Structure 1
Amino acid sequence: MIRSIVGAGLAVAFAAALQSPAEAQMSHQHASEAACEGTELRCATKVTPFFAADGTLWLTWMAGGLVSVANSQDAGRTFSQPVPVTTQKLNLDWGPDARPAVVVDRKGGIAVAFATFRDQAFNGEVLYTRSDDGGKTFAPVKPITANTESQRFQALALDEDGTLFAAWLDKRNRVPAKEAGKAYDGAGLFFASSRDGGASYTEAKLAQDNTCECCRLGLAFAGPGRPVVVFRNIFDGGVRDHAIVTFNDLATPGEVYRVSEDDWQIKACPHHGPSLAVSPTGAYHVAWYTNGKTRKGLFYAHSRDGGHTFSAPIPIGQAERNPTRPYVLSTKAVATLAWKEFDGETTTVMVMQSRDDGDTWSKPSAVASTKDASDHPLLVADGEHIYLSWMTKADGYRFQLIGDQS
């Protein structure tokens, strides 16, 4: 077995904390600072957790050019021997907001999706695979779409009936625009679904064109067959603020609504996407970063009308400590927000919680820190507890209890 705190890893986004906020979000250089060149967890660049219905914790990570998985039966104290998802080393998408995605259905099937770089121009390809034997072996990877233009920043979510929904950013529409002599900004938000546990996906469809091309997506379900995606959009005048779309069903996107008018007008890639959670009451919780004219920093807002309107944004964290990388999770009776702050020497993960669906929040508290590089802080819950998942270079992978769901 492998201990859950296992030496040093990588954090692609930490270099951003050493720059000004604007410079940090626009950087697109390879910021790899892995402490080792192997494929084991301690060499990981990005780590993504998922709790299966039976309580097993699954991790997928990028290290040494491979995507691997392992599981824990004791809430992250120990992990099984890792299993490679890919059979050969790949040029995995190392962008600050890129990471492999994993979901596990009630039958124990494990679906994984990740992106690679096709070339030096950061054109990507989203690949997927599935394991039907409890993670012992994985099927050969396949592209999620036959289109050969760039796809990146894939997200996966599992519907209550076992259907998988995938969303990603796709630049296929720039080709016909160029052929027609028209300008094309950003990318398109594309999606597909799978009713066989991730063994195959439906034909890709467009949900929204001219989105920002370089930020992670927030994905959740508002109800059976109704995915919700929050993303950084490109509004009139080149303003890159956040938008949200709730699907009428798995094949039909609804209207796109604006989350907040931050007025961030920029002709560059922020590399800092939003986070989304939907509470049992149906409230949408969204957290994001902006460097706009109206507001700067991290913010949170909620919607109680299916994303049509949002509450007034509230700031997250201490502005002088460059708060970054927010993540929101909603469980039975509590919403939890996590983010990073940097004081010039130490990166600290801060957490605050709300027990009234986002109307009021507890005082932020520090739950973890490191003196070196670190990945984004992520939150995950089993049936009873909420945990922080955080990869750090100096201290290895951390999986620690934050609190309970009641």
Structure 2
Amino acid sequence: MIRTAAAAAIALFLQGAANAQMSHHHASEAACDTTELRCATKVTPAFAPDGTLWLAWMAGGRISVARSGDHGKTFSAPVAVFDQALKLDWGPDARPSMIVDRQNRIAIAFSIFRDKNFNGEVLYTRSVDEGRRFSKPEPITPGTESQRFVQLALDSDGSVFAAWIDKRNRARASAGNQSYNGAALFFSWSKDGGGTYSETRLVKDNTCECCRIAVAFAGSRQPAVLFRNIFPGGVRDHAIVTFGDSAAPGEIHRVSHDGWKTDACPHQGPSLAISPEGTYHAVWFTSGEARKGLFHARSTDGGQTFSEPMAIGRPDRNASRPYVLTSGSGTTIVWKEFDGEKTTVKLIRSGDDGKSWSQPRDIAATTDASDHPLLVGNGSEVFLSWMTKADGYHITQIDSAP
């Protein structure tokens, strides 16, 4: 079993016991190239319906998985998803995506680089024996054009929804001497817990090719996908689509009017959560003409219109990597700020579905490189999941106070 590190290291990492109910620490090293959790660069958490915490992480050219029955105090021996090192997509917004269903089947999808031009391929794998063994990774689509930033989401009926950024239509346009901006958003479904996926279908052409996407469910067979779109004039602002049913993407609605006109890759994707009351919560980063920094907006009409964006964090401290989660206890947003010496994870909470918010507070910090701060829920409980180079992996329960 992987054991927690010294309490002194935890105390240094946390900004005070009042900010968290529990924290568990798994030490890291400054230079580390093996497959253990302490060497991970990206860590993805997921709670199973039975309350087991699962982690999937990238280290040593492999993706490994382990589980914890005590909210991260200890973990089982890691299991490698595949038996040889691969050229895993190491981009800032790339990470393995994982879901665990009611039958304890584990579905994982991730991307690898095919070449030095960062053309990717999305692969998927599944375990049907509670993570002891995984199937051989297979391509999620037979196409050979670049695919990246896959996101899996588990529907209430047990189906697995997959969406990713895909360049097949860009390649076709280029072959026909036609112009094409960005890439496209594609999707597929699995009805067997991630064992096989249906034929892929297009959601939207001309999306940003280098940012993660976000998925949440508005209802059964109604995934909502938030993504950075390319609007006329090369403006890379955010848009959302909600499916009318499993095979029918709905209308595209604009989320932000930031006016970020750029031909470069932002490498900063959004986050999306839908509350039990049906309110959409979107958070994102922008460097547009109209506004710069991190923002939150909410929608009470199924993603058709969004509120005036609310600024989050301090732009003078490089506020970045926002993440939002809703639960029975409220709505939580976390992000990172850097003051020139240390990176701090900030947190705000809302107890009224985003109508009002608490003052920002510090929940974690490090003086070295770190992964994005992520939120993961277990019923009404909310946890911060964060990997740092100097201090290792932490899973921290967030108190329910606003």
Relative to the length of structure 2, the TM-score reads 0.94
Partner of 1:379: 375
**Separation in structure 1 between the aligned mates of residue 354 and residue 230 of structure 2, nearest angstrom:** 27
Gap change, CA 1:147 and 1:405, over 3 Å in 2? farther
Partner secondary structure for residue 174 of structure 1: helix
**Separation in structure 2 between the aligned mates of residue 200 and residue 225 of structure 1, nearest angstrom:** 18
Contact between 1:334 and 1:405, CA under 8 Å: does it hold in 2? Answer: no
Contact between 1:332 and 1:405, CA under 8 Å: does it hold in 2? Answer: no
Contact between 1:385 and 1:405, CA under 8 Å: does it hold in 2? Answer: no
Asked if residue 255 in structure 1 is aligned to residue 275 in structure 2, the reply is no
Structure-to-structure mapping, 1:157-168, within 5 angstroms? 157-168=153-164
Deviations 1:79-106 (A, max 9, x none): 1110000111000000000000110000
Partner of 2:165: 169
Which amino acid in 2 is paired with 1:132? V
Partner of 2:26: 6
**Separation in structure 1 between the aligned mates of residue 46 and residue 26 of structure 2, nearest angstrom:** 19
Deviations 1:177-221 (A, max 9, x none): 112211111110000000000000001100000100000111010
Return the match for 2:48 from 46, 52, 62: 52
Partner secondary structure for residue 168 of structure 2: coil
**Separation in structure 2 between the aligned mates of residue 401 and residue 224 of structure 1, nearest angstrom:** 28
Contact between 1:159 and 1:165, CA under 8 Å: does it hold in 2? Answer: yes
Aligned residues: 382
Partner of 2:31: 35
Asked if residue 201 in structure 1 is aligned to residue 221 in structure 2, the reply is no
**Separation in structure 2 between the aligned mates of residue 175 and residue 324 of structure 1, nearest angstrom:** 32
Partner secondary structure for residue 26 of structure 2: coil
Partner of 2:6: none
Structure-to-structure mapping, 1:293-308, within 5 angstroms? 293-308=289-304
Asked if residue 123 in structure 1 is aligned to residue 119 in structure 2, the reply is yes
Asked if residue 271 in structure 1 is aligned to residue 291 in structure 2, the reply is no
Partner of 2:20: none
**Separation in structure 2 between the aligned mates of residue 175 and residue 388 of structure 1, nearest angstrom:** 40
Deviations 1:4-36 (A, max 9, x none): 522226xxxxxxxxxxxxxxxxxxxxxxxx620
**Separation in structure 2 between the aligned mates of residue 272 and residue 254 of structure 1, nearest angstrom:** 25
Extract unaligned runs of 5+ from structure 2.
4-23
**Separation in structure 1 between the aligned mates of residue 197 and residue 263 of structure 2, nearest angstrom:** 33
Relative to the length of structure 1, the TM-score reads 0.93
Deviations 1:249-291 (A, max 9, x none): 1111000000010000001100000000000011000000000
Partner secondary structure for residue 177 of structure 1: helix
Contact between 1:331 and 1:405, CA under 8 Å: does it hold in 2? Answer: no
Which amino acid in 2 is paired with 1:8? S
Partner of 2:182: 186
Which amino acid in 1 is paired with 2:40? A
Report the alpha carbon displacement of residue 405 of structure 1 after superposing the two structures with TM: 8.9
Partner of 2:234: 238
Extract unaligned runs of 5+ from structure 1.
10-33
Which amino acid in 2 is paired with 1:158? L
Which amino acid in 2 is paired with 1:136? R
Deviations 1:34-56 (A, max 9, x none): 62010000000100000001000
Report the alpha carbon displacement of residue 320 of structure 1 after superposing the two structures with TM: 1.2
**Separation in structure 2 between the aligned mates of residue 388 and residue 285 of structure 1, nearest angstrom:** 18
Asked if residue 112 in structure 1 is aligned to residue 108 in structure 2, the reply is yes
Partner of 1:80: 76
Structure-to-structure mapping, 1:13-24, within 5 angstroms? none
